[in-house]
Structure 1
Amino acid sequence: MTSHAETQDDFKVERVASVLRHRVTDSIRNAILVGRFSPGERLPERELCEMTGVSRTLVREALRQLESEGLIVVIPHRGPEVARVTPEQARGIYQVREELEGLACQLFAESASDAQLAELRETFQALKRSWPRGTALEQIASKNAFYQCLLDGAGNEALMTTLRLLNSRIMLLRSTSMQAPGRAKQSIAELSVLMQALEARDGKAARAAGSLHVRNAANVAIAILRESLAAQPAAVQ
């Protein structure tokens, strides 16, 4: 996923006390997802404070949350940095994601209400509009809204909870796969097939379409990670 319109102000946090910590966490997470900070890059507290416009205390709380999500790691004598996802780790995440999201698609087709289907239809249209013209932040928001509607309509709390545990790394890998030329267009086409199955209330077809979408994304993301890994020694020299 390529960032093409974000500015420093895009990561400023609105000062609403009751939700401020969550907003700070979201801001730093989004900065990582759009490539403001790259895998392996340090996350200096001063820079994060300037970016978000909040105190070190709030930034540290946000970093602890992102560490628990596996999005950052804290290195002794070095501090926090963006976590690297290896090709092997990515494959494992995608294997789990394929099973769970395939099931979510099937459950949605079989049990979602007409109102939930209408809402998913609206979020899909918003998703399609965001890819050619939207910023990376807008694209992340639209993709998250689509999947949240899908999971809500699936109506399985255990499924939603399990995917939420992987959510940050899923989003990171999603942004990685979308870097590939032509992947955005292919992704929309795959989701269009999924939407057709959901509209038809065909659980089997919906599960197959959802699983295929994840497998295709996995192939792209893992290839990018392998290329990046292979290039690292040359970059050090």
Structure 2
Amino acid sequence: MIIARSIEEDIVLGRRHPRERLIEQDLCDLFQTHRGDVRLALFELEKKGLVERIPHRGATVRGLTPSEVREIYTVREELEVMAVRIIPFPVSRADIERLEDLQRQHAAAIVQGEMLNVFYSNLRFHQVLFGLCGNSCLIETIDLLAQKVYGIRSYANAFPESLDRARRDHLDMIGALRAARRDELITLTRRHLTPSPEAYIKAYERRFGKAEALGAAREQARQP
């Protein structure tokens, strides 16, 4: 759906911030449509974990707490390492060339400052990389967890050094695949995940304070 995709891209690019209200009438006016279409879009985004709908209060961009981010990334790391650990070696030339093409697209988007293309080319690179493992259940689960943190990507992407590191990581991952160096690929996979949660947590604590971040973690721990 066009509305859901547009709101999702705003979240990914940091144009809509965690806890920002998504007012149905404002969205109707923006997209020149009726509430039924807007509510369907918000429902779709809620299923992806990007939007939170609270009864009698409306919808907001989901604001993950630092604790939630750490939990998601802990699981992501283990699953993504599992995927690269079972990729059959040697990897075919066609698969290597496909990853190289996506890496070039990602690098070009960084140079041109096209952040939406940076996001999607990066996403496709990793989908192809983890898809090499051949385990459909694992691939689907990795995709679902990645969706939950779409909204925090912009925090790391705001720093040129983070983008350059991601670009270099992609090159190194391709090199490890080509040379069948699995241990190196595993190390790169772990390292590649760290900039986004680190940048988000720092921004969260600056905006809401460390005390609130700690309180949110305690409240989450008390929930059944």
Residues of 1 paired with 2:200 and 2:127: CA distance?
A: 22
C-alpha displacement of 1:191: 2.5
Q: Aligned AA for 2:89?
A: E
> 5+ residue gaps in structure 2?
213-224
Give the aligned partner of residue 115 of structure 1. 94
Contact 1:107 1:154 (C-alpha < 8 Å) held by counterparts: yes
2:174 is aligned with 1:199? no
Which residue does 1:59 correspond to in 2? 38
Following superposition, the deviation at residue 130 of structure 1 comes to 0.7
Q: 1:47–1:116: structure 2 CA closer, same or farther, 3 Å change rule?
A: farther
**Match 1:160 to one of 117, 126, 139:** 139
Query: Using the alignment, how far apart are the partners of 1:132 and 1:232 within structure 2?
Result: 38
Distance in 1 (alpha carbons) for counterparts of 2:78 and 2:179: 21
Gaps of 5+ in 1: 1-20
**Code of the aligned partner of 2:23:** P
Q: Please give the per-residue CA displacement for 1:144-201, whole angstroms capped at 9, x wherever unaligned.
A: 1212211222211111111222232232222222224521112222232222111212
Number of aligned positions between the proteins = 212
Q: 1:110 to 1:174 in 2, by over 3 A?
A: farther
- The equivalent residue for 2:166 is 187
Residue in 1 that maps onto 2:203: 224
SS of equivalent residue, structure 1 residue 36: coil
Counterpart in 2 of 1:171?
150
- Following TM superposition, where does structure 1 have runs of at least 4 consecutive aligned residues deviating by more than 6 angstroms? none
SS of equivalent to 1:196:
helix
Q: For each residue in 1:46-73, what CA deviation from the matched residue of structure 2 results, as whole angstroms up to 9, or x when unmatched?
A: 3323444544322211111211222111
- Out of 22, 29, 35, the position equivalent to 2:14 is 35
Is this contact kept in 1: 2:11–2:150, CA < 8 A? no
Give the alignment's TM-score, normalised by structure 1. 0.79
Which residue of 15, 22, 25 maps to 1:46?
25
Q: What's the counterpart of residue 13 of structure 1?
A: none
Kept in 2, the 8 Å contact 1:112–1:154? The answer is no
Aligned-residue CA RMSD in angstroms?
A: 2.3
Match of residue 96, structure 1, among 72, 75, 81: 75
Contact 2:52 2:60 in 1 (8 A): yes
Q: 1:133 aligned to 2:112?
A: yes
The one-character-per-residue Cα deviations of 1:66-111 (angstroms, maximum 9, x if unpaired) are: 1122211112322101111111111111111111222333344636
Question: What's the offset of the Cα at 1:232?
Answer: 10
CA distance in 1, matches of 2:88, 2:184: 9
Assess if the C-alpha contact under 8 Å between 2:50 and 2:62 holds in 1.
yes
Partner of 2:221: none
